[in-house]
A and B are shown apart, each in its own frame.
Chain A
Amino acid sequence: MTTLVIIGGGWAGCAASIIAKKLGVHVILLEKTDMLIGLGNVGGIMRNNGRFTAAEENIFLGARELFEITDKFSIHKNISFPGHKHAYLYDVTKIEPAVRKLLIELGIEVKLKKRVIDVIMEGKDIEGVVLSDGETVYGKAFIDTTGSTGPMGNCFKYGNGCAMCILRCPSFGPRVSISQKAGVKDIVGMKKDGSFGAFSGSCKLNKDSLSADIKDKLEREGVVILPVPKEDIKMDKLTKKVCQQYALKEYGENIILLDTGHAKMMTSFYPLEKLRKIKGLENARYEDPYSGGIGNSVRYLSIAPRQNTMKVNGVNNLFCGGEKSGLFVGHTEAISTGSLAGYNSVRYILGKRLLELPTELAVGDLIYYGNYMIQTEEGLKDRYTFAGSTYFNRMIEKGLYTTDLHKIKSRVENLGLLNIYEKL
């Protein structure tokens, strides 16, 4: 049987595994922690701004399953908050088991607590991957969806130290760059000041630790905006975060809380004693990262150079998706890149020409644009997301942004790509 091995069970790895499995190959998904969807366990924002267009494009391309789940588990739909429209917020406390169930029902061999530490090469092909417990997993093609966050040493050197995020490196071991082990040097993203990496853009407060008023409002409306005391406003911290779409003035002057099951706070980190000066947050405590008062995870330190087909340069049978494939932010971006990686890895296994999505689609254009920009120094300091900042502006300029389902469908259909992920 032809086996596809996917390393990293975040949104990108899950998306890749679903597409590949539906096309009939044997899929092994290796995840180092005890949970799938990675940072999706603490994220939760879908369909805001251009992500709506991208989500629908993915659905028409044939990658619908994960969007069905995120829609189903959304506790707030069509809400607005500064700079963002028609956002869906899924419940991070409930979604992972649903994704896991889906993957297992599809027949994907999900292997948790399996950390890949090395590759076995035969020329420019990966023959197998070696796990930390000594086991070797062989395959015909491989997808690196290991992300770009951490491990502890990187968070220490380029951030404020381990903030105890959902990746839980001390418990499950460090992330290992598969592409780098295969001999391909990682690309490294930078902050605006030229230093390496960037902080994750949000943290979560325990909802029960908020005042009853704030908790009620949050659960009713999905959003609560609280002004930051003047003496504590620090606009420069916005330049250090990953999520440039949330690096707006309003996010420096206010605490913006979103209800994703926890109270998602749209700032990388915030000293607890200062946070507790804000009315209603007197008893606040962090839910993720546990040490959100001192820092957050550091990301973008490990990106694989790749083609727009998601194939990694320099290795014949390695593909990539998610943050591993560019300076992308968000679940929708991970599912978009992961799905194409899953599709093309199967085409590779079957000896078929690889698909490059046209730039007439937002998904294809993001994959192209992210790859183009990463080759410039300025581009290395930027982030690319359908939800805002540079890329959303480009979407608007190119006329790609729309919430009109018929328009999106006909766009995909006219390019001959309707349900393409289900066909070979």
Chain B
Amino acid sequence: MDKTYNCIDAGSKYCPCNLANTMNCISCSHLAGEDFCDCSWNGVCILYEYYMNNKQYSDFKKTYRGIVIGKVFLDKNLILLKIKLDKKLLNELNTIGSYVFIRKVNCSNYYDTPMSIFNIDEDYIYIVYQEIGPKTKNIQCEEELSIRGPYWNGIIGEHKLSKVSNSNILIIVRGIGQSSILIPLNKLIKRNNKVVLFLDKGKLNSLYCLNYISDKNIRIEMLDLFSSEGEKKLIDFIRENPIDVVLSAGSEMLHRNVTAIVKESRKDIKIFVTNNNILCCGEGICGSCTRKIDSGERIKTCKTLIDPKQMY
């Protein structure tokens, strides 16, 4: 059989999900059609929950109405939206790696586009995106948006980044990757982590994340990560400093470079990367985010917790 993995939704109120019903559960070997237990989920048994609930699976994530309160044009085609949201959804999104699917209210759900939560406060979420294709164009013209969530695997790692504490963390950010780092940054600092930020504006002309970073204790290094000088700086920093965790926020090329550097220098560093896969349903069903890993198995990155070293 394919190996079972931990699932970002396991143990939440969204578990067991429809994948249990179709015998495609990511975590439970029984609910993936096997005869015996072979899971690494450390919590109340998913099979148990499923049967105790008379084989009812939890509903899909709900779609809410979001009211666009403000927008800022950060650069050409680069837009920040401030959206008022239902408190219930807001609470569930207030975690590292959270994302939602957004579309115009009158569009079909083919237009659902995944967006990571850039920032969050009591009543609002903030998202920053580039207006590029049919899904993103004209979103900013709307007063109301359909918002489906919560989804949590916007940052991929073998464990949950939100659990890391008392560690030295290097966050490497390039371009639109800035949209994913603010919540991790704030939460990781609260958990007594020491954070260093390597920041590259990439193809954008904006370092918008800097306007929202209030903590003066964060060391920020500006560099061009794809220049030989920048790469050397990164390699030297990883080799010479007691880094425990690296978060790569940017393109696939950035993830590949960072993972290669970590693999070559210090195997014990835990890596997390922003989820750049094509996310369409977020429920493990459509298959658009499927990714082949080193072992040859295919995993669904919208929900699977996995060490990025197996992907890059």
Contacts and interface: CB of A to CB of B under 8 A. Distances in A.
A156 B158 CA distance: 28
Contacts, number: 63
Interface string B15-44: 000000000000011100001111111111
A132 B160 CA distance: 13
Given A156-B48, A161-B48, A180 B30 contact: no
Interface string A169-188: 11011111100100000101
Interface stretch (A147-155, A208-216, A320-328): A147-155
Nearest to A117: B40
B264 to A, nearest CB: 18
Contact of A188 (B36, B41, B44): B36
A293 to B, nearest CB: 17
B45 A196 contact: no
Given A153-B47, A157-B30, A132 B42 contact: yes
Contact of B37 (A117, A118, A134, A151): A151
A134 B45 contact: no
A301 interface: yes
B270 interface: yes
B51 interface: yes
Given A162-B45, A174-B40, A174-B45, 16 more contacts: A132-B42, A134-B159, A150-B37, A151-B37, A151-B39, A152-B48, A153-B47, A156-B48, A170-B44, A173-B40, A174-B41, A174-B42, A176-B40, A177-B38, A301-B36, A302-B36
B35 to A, nearest CB: 7
B158 to A, nearest CB: 7
A153 B45 contact: yes
B158 A153 contact: no
Dominant SS among interface residues on chain B? loop
Nearest to B270: A134
A196 B36 CA distance: 10
Nearest to B42: A173
A115 interface: yes
Interface residues on B, range: 20 to 34
Given A134-B270, A153-B29, A162-B48, A170 B36 contact: no
Nearest to B307: A134
A174 B35 contact: no
Contact of A153 (B42, B43, B48): B48
A170 B45 contact: yes
Contact of A154 (B37, B41, B42, B46): B37
A156 B40 contact: no
Contacts of A173: 40-42
Nearest to B47: A153
Interface of A: 115, 117-118, 132, 134, 150-154, 156-157, 161-162, 169-170, 172-177, 180, 186, 188, 196, 301-302
Please indicate which of the listed interface residues A118, A150, A157, A301 has the most CB atoms of chain B within 10 Å of its own CB: A157
A211 B138 CA distance: 78
B44 to A, nearest CB: 5
17 contacts: A132-B40, A134-B158, A134-B159, A151-B37, A152-B37, A153-B45, A156-B47, A156-B51, A162-B48, A170-B45, A172-B42, A173-B42, A174-B37, A174-B39, A174-B40, A188-B36, A301-B37
Nearest to B43: A170
A157 B47 contact: yes
3 tightest Cβ-Cβ pairs between the two chains A and B: A152-B45, A173-B42, A153-B47
A185 to B, nearest CB: 11
B2 to A, nearest CB: 14
A113 to B, nearest CB: 11
Contacts of A172: 42
A370 B216 CA distance: 67
Nearest to A161: B48
A302 B37 CA distance: 10
Contacts of A132: 40, 42
Contact of A156 (B35, B42, B45, B159): B45
Contacts of B159: 134
Contacts of A175: 37
Identify the interface centre among A153, A173, A186: most chain B CB within 10 Å of its CB: A153
A33 to B, nearest CB: 12
Contacts of A180: 38
Among B39, B42, B48, chain A packs the most CB atoms within 10 A around the CB of: B42
A156 B30 CA distance: 10
